[in-house]
Amino acid sequence: MELPTDKISITAIASISPLGVTLEEIWENYQNTDHCLTLQEIDKESVWTGRLSQNLQQKITDLKESDSKYQHLDHSVLYALFTARNAVHRAGWKSLERSDKNFGINIGSSRGATGLFEHFHEDYLKHNRTPSLTSPTTTLGNISSWVAHDLGTDGPEFSHSITCSTALHALLNGVAWIRSGMADKFLVGGSEAPLTPFTISQMKALKIYASSVDSENSFVAERSRSYPCRALDLDKKRNTMVLGEGASVACLEKGIPHGALAVIEGIGYATELLEHNVSISADARCFQKSMAMALENTPKEEVDVIVMHAPGTLKGDISECNAIKKIFYNDLPFLTTNKWKIGHTFGASGMLNIEMAILMLRYQKAIQVPFYKNTAEPKNIKKVLVNAVGFGGNAVSVLLAKV
């Protein structure tokens, strides 16, 4: 049987996050109702964060020390290197001959080299000078270029920042390259290492960060039962966003090769007019447009699950839900998100949502948010819609279908 050539598949996906590394480990972590967030001491204050485990931090340290050139790289780059290696290995691209390594790379980041940039800037304020490696190690483009170097590829490579929808914009770009005939394979995703004092201070200045103390000014007890980030809790009274670190990349290929994880059935994107730098309309018109575009050739009743952006903020969660109701009316699909569990990983979050969708397609089980009640759990999961949006109202929706 001849494989269809007008389709684009995700043939492999890899990530590093508080959930783990292997798909089996990540799925197992999704099965329990404990979150993966920790109280971390940052700038003499206890702050909720989605931090990598000590075991994973050691793996990144080992990667950093494996090559003298890697010792000066930011964690956002190291996370991308780690996940890209795993993704191409799972896709079988690593066995390709050098002359066939013509796949493209687009891995972006919202903040880029956050840790290094803050370090170099602090050093400049103290000494009025900067080290020679400041510019080459903090420029945004160094993520994909280092991944290309590490994998020894010959194809196009570029990085970008479109805030929290960065990874899904990378996927859109990979799809465009493949559809144009300029590439048959593309490595796409996002990487983020935002757990730094200045970055967290920025989120607190917006008054959207989760508090580490309860209403009685005592530390939140019983971590396994409490949820600092209440993403998709429509009854919460305050903002509860928590930052997380990690990276996730996917291998896109033309057609539907044997072993493909999912087929990209539809893509949508939209930007809405802003009233404020961080605003989004009450019914998220950008999401309405992006979801409608992604579902242009698909009946709405065929969507079984929506993986929401749902950052854990009051306006962000409710506006996305309102947008979904505008599109699906009273026949809502199963709604879920992973930010209550691992935090908001900014530019990497969209691809971690894709990974969550692929796991549900693979295991045929919807992942429930513990404090949000869906009307019913789907008996069969054939199509999952994935959302992401960032500052600037730039929404992306991707419809995945089971192979």
DSSP string, 161-194: -BTBTHHHHHHHHHHHHHHHTS-SEEEEEEEE--
| Same domain, residue pair 250 and 280 | no
- C-alpha 255/C-alpha 7 separation (Å) is 5
| Same domain, residue pair 142 and 23 | yes
| Same domain, residue pair 247 and 286 | no
Residue 342 lies in a domain: yes
pLDDT (tens digit per residue) in 377-386 = 999 999 999 9
Residue 222 lies in a domain: no
Do 301 and 397 contact (CB within 8 A), yes or no?
Answer: no
**Strand segments (E) across 164-271:** 185-192, 243-244, 246-254, 262-271
| Same domain, residue pair 173 and 310 | no
User: Of 188, 223, 254, which marks where a domain is finished?
Assistant: 254
* φ and ψ of 374, to 5 deg: -80, 160
Task: Please report which confidence band the pLDDT of residue 269 belongs to, taking 50, 70 and 90 as the band edges.
Answer: very high
Q: Which long-range contacts (CB under 8 A, 24 or more apart) does 128-137 make?
A: 133/72, 137/72, 137/73, 137/74, 137/113
Q: Give the model's pLDDT for residue 5.
A: 54
CA 351 to chain centre: 4
**CATH number of the domain enclosing 109:** 3.40.47.10
| Same domain, residue pair 280 and 190 | no
| Same domain, residue pair 248 and 272 | no
Q: What is the mean pLDDT of residues 82-99?
A: 86
Residue 181 Rama label (left phi>0; alpha psi -120 to 50; beta): left
- C-alpha 366/C-alpha 335 separation (Å) is 9
Task: Please report which confidence band the pLDDT of residue 218 belongs to, taking 50, 70 and 90 as the band edges.
Answer: very low
Lowest mean pLDDT among 280-284, 357-361, 395-399: 280-284
Please report which helix (H) or strand (E) contains residue 393, including its range. Answer: none
Q: What is the mean pLDDT of residues 18-25?
A: 98
| Same domain, residue pair 175 and 64 | yes
* φ and ψ of 169, to 5 deg: -65, -35
User: Of 208, 225, 254, which marks where a domain is finished?
Assistant: 254
- Distance spanning both ends of the chain, measured CA to CA: 15
User: Of 233, 254, 275, which marks where a domain is finished?
Assistant: 254
Lowest mean pLDDT among 89-103, 125-139, 354-368: 89-103
- C-alpha 107/C-alpha 186 separation (Å) is 10
Q: What is the mean pLDDT of residues 315-343?
A: 96
Residue 1 lies in a domain: no
Residue 364 lies in a domain: yes
Q: What is the mean pLDDT of residues 104-116?
A: 96
Task: Please report which confidence band the pLDDT of residue 43 belongs to, taking 50, 70 and 90 as the band edges.
Answer: confident
| Same domain, residue pair 249 and 328 | no
Please report which helix (H) or strand (E) contains residue 221, including its range. Answer: none
Tokens at residue 121, please?
Answer: 């800037």
If you search the block for the tokens 């160094």, which residue do you land on? 142
Residue 231 lies in a domain: no
Domain limits for position 153: 8-200+242-254
User: For the purposes of burial, counting CB atoms within 10 Å of the CB of 39, is it exposed (0-12), middle (13-18) or buried (19 or more)?
Assistant: middle
Q: Give the model's pLDDT for residue 57.
A: 98
Tokens at residue 68, please?
Answer: 């003298």
Residue 234 lies in a domain: no
Please report which helix (H) or strand (E) contains residue 308, including its range. Answer: none
Do 274 and 22 contact (CB within 8 A), yes or no?
Answer: no
| Same domain, residue pair 305 and 162 | no
| Same domain, residue pair 185 and 296 | no
- C-alpha 28/C-alpha 199 separation (Å) is 31
| Same domain, residue pair 161 and 279 | no
Per residue, the 3-state secondary structure of 345-371, as one string, reads: CHHHHHHHHHHHHHHHHHHCCCCCCCC
Residue 219 lies in a domain: no
pTM: 0.95
For the chain, what is the domain count?
Answer: 2
Residue 146 lies in a domain: yes
| Same domain, residue pair 196 and 272 | no
Task: Please report which confidence band the pLDDT of residue 276 belongs to, taking 50, 70 and 90 as the band edges.
Answer: low
